Amino acid sequence: MPLQREPTWQADVHPSKILKMVYRTDKRNRLFWELAADYKKNCAKTETMVACPLCLTEYNLANVAELTREHIVPSKLGGRSETLTCRKCNNNQGSYLDSHLINLMKSLDAFEGAGPIRTSVISDKGKITAELLLGAGTPDEPIAIQIVGQASNMGAVENLRSIMCDGATLKLKMKFPFIPERYVRAAFRAAFLSVFKVEGYEYALSLGAEQVRNMLGTATPVLKNVVMEAFPERDPGTDLLVMPASFTDIGEYYAVLLRLETKRTRFISVFLPGKHGRDWTALEALYHQAPRLRLETTPGGSNSKLYIRFGCSPMVRFQKGLQDRFIPASHRSLKVD
Ligand SMILES: [Zn+2]
The one-digit pLDDT tens for each residue of the chain (337 residues) are 678 888 878 877 776 666 555 545 578 989 999 999 999 999 888 889 999 999 999 999 899 999 999 999 999 999 999 999 999 999 887 778 999 999 999 999 999 889 999 999 888 888 899 998 987 766 667 788 888 888 889 999 888 888 877 777 888 898 899 999 999 999 999 999 999 999 999 999 999 999 999 888 777 788 888 899 999 999 999 999 999 988 777 788 999 999 999 999 999 999 999 999 877 777 888 788 777 888 888 887 778 899 999 998 999 999 998 888 877 665 545 444 4
How do beta strands 172-175 and 82-86 pair? unpaired
Report the separation in Å between the CA atom of 89 and the middle of ligand 1, taken as the mean of its atom positions.
Answer: 4
Report the separation in Å between the CA atom of 95 and the middle of ligand 1, taken as the mean of its atom positions.
Answer: 14
Report the separation in Å between the CA atom of 49 and the middle of ligand 1, taken as the mean of its atom positions.
Answer: 14
Report the separation in Å between the CA atom of 66 and the middle of ligand 1, taken as the mean of its atom positions.
Answer: 9
DSSP code for 309? E
How do beta strands 306-310 and 227-232 pair? antiparallel
Report the separation in Å between the CA atom of 162 and the middle of ligand 1, taken as the mean of its atom positions.
Answer: 56
Angstrom CA distances, 179 to 96, 102, 182, 185, 321, stand at 11, 11, 5, 10, 17
Report the separation in Å between the CA atom of 20 and the middle of ligand 1, taken as the mean of its atom positions.
Answer: 29
Report the separation in Å between the CA atom of 26 and the middle of ligand 1, taken as the mean of its atom positions.
Answer: 21
How do beta strands 172-175 and 116-121 pair? antiparallel
Report the separation in Å between the CA atom of 221 and the middle of ligand 1, taken as the mean of its atom positions.
Answer: 21
Question: Cα–Cα distance between 103 and 68 in angstroms, integer?
Answer: 24
Report the separation in Å between the CA atom of 265 and the middle of ligand 1, taken as the mean of its atom positions.
Answer: 30
Report the separation in Å between the CA atom of 90 and the middle of ligand 1, taken as the mean of its atom positions.
Answer: 7
* Edge-to-edge strand list for the sheet holding 172-175: 144-147, 128-133, 116-121, 172-175
